Amino acid sequence: MAKKDEKHHIITFTFDEEATSYQVFSELKKYHANGQVDFEQIAVIKRSENGAFSFEDAIDLSGSNKAFKGSLIGMAVGILGGPFGILLGSMTGMLIGGSKDLKENQAIQETFKRTLGVIPPGKTGIIAIGEEFEPSVLDGLVAKHNGTIDRTDELLEK
């Protein structure tokens, strides 16, 4: 298992069929429970034909009750959700702001913008935040479902 002070990656999965994203979402939760990966959060994100994003399903696997404090997917809501999302993102940013400076938060938001851009218009994908212990585990899952996987080079503070 990952240590409490480790950094985490953003991993994006895309598939041709929307139903496959939900199936893989379920499998990723099992992989986490079995200790094959150590994810903090997983979200199913749909991108409409006009490029707008919506969160279809999400789970926080961190086991903490910190009400969004440090929630990276919560920050993505601010990027995606228009006026309401900006308000929610601002509130989340205030919670996180005590421990991170503005530059660091902006870097995280830019990472999310690039990451979300991997999901093509009209498709549904998955974003997971955390650690994988062996890349072949997720590579095999994606190959089994004829999808693609994109890993960030950036590391995010937990």
- Over the stretch 42-55, which tens digit does the pLDDT of each residue have? 888 888 898 888 88
| Rg (alpha carbons) of the chain, rounded to whole number | 15
**Within a domain: residue 9?**
no
Q: Report the SS3 class of residue 21.
A: helix
**Within a domain: residue 147?**
no
Q: What is the mean pLDDT of the chain?
A: 74
Query: For the chain, how many structural domains are there in total?
Result: 1
**Within a domain: residue 20?**
yes
**Within a domain: residue 27?**
yes
d(CA 85, CA 78): 4
**Within a domain: residue 138?**
no
Q: What is the pLDDT of residue 84?
A: 45
Q: How sure is the predictor about 74, in pLDDT bands with cuts at 50, 70 and 90?
A: low
The distance of Cα 26 from the centroid of its chain, to the nearest Å, equals 15
Domain that holds residue 96: 16-127
Higher model confidence: residue 81 or residue 68? 81
Q: Report the SS3 class of residue 9.
A: strand
**Within a domain: residue 158?**
no
Averaged pLDDT, 7-27: 91
Q: What is the pLDDT of residue 43?
A: 86
**Within a domain: residue 152?**
no
Residue 1 has pLDDT above 60, yes or no: no
